[in-house]
Structure 1
Amino acid sequence: MTRKLLLVLLFLMAVKMTAQKGDSNFSLGFNYGFGSEFSNRNYTFTNHFYKVQFYYKIKEAKHFQYQILVQPEINFAEHQLLNFYFVKPETPNYQQKRDQYTRLKDVREYVLNCGFLIRKPIGQVCSFYVLGSIGPMITDTETERISKGFAFADVLAVGFTASCNKCQFDIRPSIRHVSNAGLGSSNAGYNTKNIEFGISYQL
């Protein structure tokens, strides 16, 4: 009997939450993106990535909305050193490292970015926004530009969304910088341009 009452209460709560359209400040989303380094002669870097997006609206003013978001991400990249002179002769075992770093490598990055977003609604359906985020990252491969292990990922993005009921469809060009703030022996980092596409749902 107690179990049945509990199930009924849970069902009524779910119905009530479903009926309260637009009341929640939380949204959950998923993004897919890809990109590459800015053109240079020293290295190649291409990537694609998947993000889970947790949004929370902290304030809604007359013309703008303000949100914070948390973005767990996994990034799959390919990297290759092109200019082996980037590894200088004073580097220990420099010839061995030149041979190692000039091979094409698969790189995995595991990131937890936290961001702040300012959104400008355009009518009832569309909006533009600016997003800045930063967070810790673990990379599984040592390269000439960044040491294996702990680093940071910084992202600056603009975006456009279109809404349909509780769903939002998102397109987001961005610039991304990765480095380890001098915590590792190599810290030249990567600078990439990316674009991502996503969908989110208001909870």
Structure 2
Amino acid sequence: MNFRFLFFLLFFCSFIYSQNNKNYFFKPNKIGFLYNYANEKNFLFDDTDYYYTTNTFKSQFFYNLGNWKTLNFELVIQPQIQFLKHQLLNEQFVLPNEENFKEKRLRFTKLKNMNLYSIEFGFSINQLIIENLFLKITASVGLSVIDTETERLAKGFTFIENGSIGFTYQTSLKTALYLGTNIGHVSNFDFQKPNSGFNIVGFEIGISYQLK
């Protein structure tokens, strides 16, 4: 069965179940959708060894964790798919002492499309700035699967880490818009080799809907 189809089928079923069961522990108080674009060519990283971009689509499920003084805290669960483009620009990154290094150089220096599937868990802090406008800071980690090997990362199980900051504007009692920026990293914590990983900076836009 196609992995992408299975991933979203399981997620859709769990979401429907949560909506139909009022006592279900994982029923969120808010749902949303977020789009993110990011790449390695930015003021923080700008690695000349490779080209890497990602277009990410996230479903978002928000769980209110409570308040402290003027701050609000949320758990955010984000199933997602990332459509990636990658190309090795510096073939010398693949060293001659590596097995089949010529074949790897030839394969990795070709522009390729890849997919990454992930479930990401975030912790958000929200601070009201002015009426209907909130500052939002989120730190998150995710469990992932990437479908293509590169010179920097093995195919298969991996992790994602993200930090984001942005603004949420409450457009109505039920809906809100979000605009922000993020820093991200993909690696497998040395569970497999190679594990140089990817670093990205990007922008993101989202919409959310209050359920209760």
| TM-score, normalised by the number of residues in structure 1 | 0.86
Q: Which runs of 5+ in 1 are unaligned?
A: 1-16, 18-23
Q: What is the CA–CA distance in structure 2 between the aligned matches of 1:193 and 1:123, rounded to whole Å? A: 27
Aligned partner of 1:111 among 108, 113, 118? 118
Aligned partner of 1:197 among 187, 193, 205? 205
Does the Cα contact within 8 Å between 1:25 and 1:58 map onto a contact in 2?
no
1:32: which partner in 2? 35
- What is the correspondence of 1:83-162 to structure 2 with a 5 Å cutoff? 83-162=90-169
- How far is 1:75 from its partner? 0.3
Q: What is the CA–CA distance in structure 1 between the aligned matches of 2:155 and 2:208, rounded to whole Å? A: 33
Does the Cα contact within 8 Å between 1:138 and 1:149 map onto a contact in 2?
yes
Aligned partner of 1:76 among 83, 86, 95? 83
1:182 aligns with 2:190: yes
> How many percent identity over aligned positions?
36
SS in 2 for 1:96: helix
Q: Which runs of 5+ in 2 are unaligned?
A: 1-21
Q: What is the CA–CA distance in structure 1 between the aligned matches of 2:125 and 2:111, rounded to whole Å? A: 39
- How far is 1:123 from its partner? 3.1
Does the Cα contact within 8 Å between 2:28 and 2:61 map onto a contact in 1?
no
1:169 aligns with 2:169: no
1:7: which partner in 2? none
Q: What is the CA–CA distance in structure 2 between the aligned matches of 1:41 and 1:194, rounded to whole Å? A: 17
Larger Rg computed on CA atoms: 1
| TM-score, normalised by the number of residues in structure 2 | 0.83
- How far is 1:60 from its partner? 1.8
For these two proteins, the number of residue pairs brought into alignment is 181
